[in-house]
Chain A
Amino acid sequence: MTLKAARALSETVAKACAGAYPDEACGLLLGPVPDGFDRPGRTVAVDEARALPNGWDASAKTNRYLIDPRLLAKVESELSGSGRGVVGFYHSHPDHPAWPSPFDLKMAWPCLSYWIVRVDDGRAADSRSWQRTEDGRSFVEEPIVLEG
């Protein structure tokens, strides 16, 4: 599987993640819903990254993020019938590797791309994308292919 995006979009994501430091940043990845979205080999082409506020309470924003389900439902209904949808999420790991944490796994949904950006001292560093396996036991890394 693969996550495709324009280079400029990846810079937007990196900037949003760096800007939120030391808190975690989060947002939606939008794009055409691919055929066979649940297939392990699927490709997701992200054409828009939409930043959302981190809804976790202030005590743990540095290592947790939460997206308000109402905001998510709003975007889903906005895209309803258009062939596009929420194909993934991005979030940052301040001063932590861009690998999914056990908590990420516990909360992860299938099919979607989970794009994680490591932010060190306010600077976006490693950037990796992951897809949860259907059985929910693990994440598999997918290459991020940047275009343009």
Chain B
Amino acid sequence: MTVEIRLPTALRAFADKQEKISVEAKNVGEALDALFAKHDRLKAQLLSPDGKLRSFVNVYVNEDDARDKQGLATPVKDGDTVLIVPAIAGGATLTAGAELSKEELRRYDRHVILPEVGLAGQKKLKSSAVLCIGAGGLGSPLALYLAAAGVGRIGLVDFDNVDESNLQRQILHDTSSVGTSKLESAKKRLAALNPHVVVELHETKLTSANAIELFNKYDVVADGTDNFSTRYLVNDACVLTGKPNAYGSIFRFEGQLSVFGAKDGPCYRCLYPEPPPPGLVPSCAEGGVLGVLPGVIGTMQAIETIKLLLGIGKPLVGRLMLYDALEQSWRTLKVKKNPACPVCGKNPTIKAPIDYEAFCGLKEKPVTAIPEMTVEQLKAMLDKNEKFVLLDVREPREYEAAKIPGSRLIPLGDLPNRAAELDKKAKYVVHCRSGGRSARAVALLREKGFDATNVAGGILAWADRIDPSLQVS
């Protein structure tokens, strides 16, 4: 009897792409044997090692399921069609999915023996995914502890290279990785620490365009960013995707910690509806930071993250912890959900990520009326002993580290209050590190009626082109 066997798309690759294969056979079993004789790779796909049809394989003779007839002994006659049809089934498991190998069980033993974690909790961690924003100071201890704890998938977002000045606090990276990608360096370190976790690298700037899609792939987001525009973006995207945000931030000797965007909890905007004016709060690069501080705050973020994943303890929702390393003190403040919050309130107006650079005033270009001069012009004026005040608007620590001789320090943040000390008849030349803060200072001074000029490129340009002996970081 000649019968035609029809293969589903999935199996044709194992039979030289053929869809229909004619064989001689008296019953279904013989037809399959003849098929396997021609295409032996099909056998392993269709039969279990003991030679029975696998449970997910259906065989039809014409219109009828062979199982309803005589199974493999079902007779076939000339011209019959034997149809192999996949039984397509699957689905989420009832218990948390991941299984732990013996090796993993040994590694996580001190977790597993905690009744609050246990085997179920450890499996939960393995099937969880956390997105760390930034692989820097906060991201370092955070990612290291999450990897060590066995969080199954850890995503890292960063696009910087490792700089020598990072190594004072960013313990994910080491001296040999200076100049290379932070993400590659982090992946190397995390894989060495725990090969059982998957590290996903997102070497990109987090933007309004990619945040939602990215956050959707994770269970918890841990914000270790160093700037306000990204911080508001992370906050809004967390609220919009319903992902809790284990938030931490650091500055000089102080740190902040909270969990934002949790169900029924406040968000970062409830606490700080508006960012500070640009330049008022210096960044770590401008203001400095104690190297150990991110170790304290990032580790606390890891604790909150793991609590959120396991659903144990009391998450830091509705509470803001403030850490002062010099005082060695912690304070906890209550944070209430703001019903009028534009993103998590009752009638939200922000329904998709906005333009955060504009929101944080970073797109506000210096008014064109701001007069500028080059460092060469400044040098010439100094050499000629011209009468003017050289104003440095950086932070005191930056000033102590390196300054242009003869300059007077008034940090930008103090300028509005201290402008009264200045002589309106004098001529002012204003500089900062690279020209940004001083441009705002010049605008402010000119508004108040002072004759002020900005130094383009700031002290960096000065060190670069006029006085290379000056060490400016």
Contacts and interface: CB of A to CB of B under 8 A. Distances in A.
Contacts of A103: 89-91, 93
B9 interface: yes
B171 to A, nearest CB: 30
A69 interface: yes
Nearest to B217: A126
B431 interface: no
Contact of A80 (B10, B19, B92, B242): B19
20 contacts: A56-B91, A63-B93, A72-B86, A76-B9, A77-B6, A80-B6, A85-B9, A85-B12, A94-B92, A95-B92, A96-B92, A97-B128, A99-B97, A99-B98, A100-B90, A101-B90, A103-B89, A106-B55, A111-B10, A125-B217
Given A66-B89, A107-B87, A109-B56, 10 more contacts: A36-B13, A64-B91, A69-B60, A72-B8, A77-B6, A81-B19, A97-B97, A101-B92, A106-B55, A110-B13
Interface of B: 6, 8-14, 17, 19, 45, 55-56, 58, 60, 65, 83, 85-94, 97-99, 127-129, 216-218, 241-242
Contact of A69 (B87, B93, B94, B129): B87
Contacts of A87: 9
Residue in A79, A120, A121, A128 whose Cβ sees the most chain B Cβ within 10 Å? A120
B86 A93 contact: no
A126 to B, nearest CB: 5
Contact of B87 (A66, A97, A101, A111): A66
Contacts of B92: 24, 63, 93-96, 101
A38 B241 CA distance: 36
A86 B89 CA distance: 15
A126 B94 contact: no
Given A24-B92, A64-B89, A66-B87, A109 B216 contact: no
Contact of B93 (A56, A72, A102): A102
A91 B6 CA distance: 25
A52 B127 CA distance: 28
A90 B127 CA distance: 20
B294 to A, nearest CB: 29
Interface in A97-138: 97, 99-104, 106-112, 114, 120-121, 123, 125-128
B12 A114 contact: no
Contacts of B89: 56, 64-67, 103, 107
Interface string A1-26: 00000000000000000000000101
Interface residues of A, number: 53
A17 to B, nearest CB: 12
B78 to A, nearest CB: 20
Contacts of A58: none
A107 B12 contact: no
B85 A38 contact: no
A33 interface: yes
Nearest to A76: B8
A26 to B, nearest CB: 7
B97 A101 contact: yes
B86 A96 contact: no
Contact of A108 (B14, B19, B90, B127): B90
A68 B47 CA distance: 21
Nearest to A77: B6
A72 to B, nearest CB: 6
A120 B83 contact: no
A101 B91 CA distance: 7
Contacts of B56: 106-109
Contact of B85 (A73, A80, A81, A125): A73
Contacts of B6: 76-77, 80
Nearest to A42: B13
